[in-house]
Amino acid sequence: MKLIIAFLLFSLDEFMLPCITKKFIGIDCPGCGFQRSFSFLIHGEFIASFKMFPPIYSLITLLSFLFIRNFIQIKYDNKIILTLTITTVVFILTNYILKFI
């Protein structure tokens, strides 16, 4: 089972979806680069992952916290989620604006 999961994770490069916004409009969307960044992260290339899509780490932190919160009761979880969400959105928007400069 572990071998199958490892194979699927390492073969994600073959199943990447194209960006519909970039395909039809011709400009990057705020999430462009996420799939490739996640692929770099899976392969252990942490710096390349960050260069491809800098908000990857804040987004993974937010999603991990949301997942863990379903199983463990955490004090002040709403404030933590709000802080992580705002941080992630700021990183995504900053990255998106810097792409055009």
Question: Can you give the pTM of this predicted structure?
Answer: 0.76
According to the model, what pLDDT value does residue 13 have?
63
> What pLDDT is attached to residue 49?
93
Dist CA 55 CA 34 (whole Å): 9
Instruction: With beta carbons less than 8 A apart as the criterion, state whether 56 and 39 touch.
Output: no
**What is the band of 50 on the pLDDT scale with cuts at 50, 70, 90?**
very high
- Residue 70, number of CB atoms within 10 A of its CB: 7
Mean pLDDT, rounded, for 20-48: 86
User: How much is the pLDDT for 87?
Assistant: 96
Is the CB of residue 88 less than 8 Å from the CB of residue 96?
Answer: no
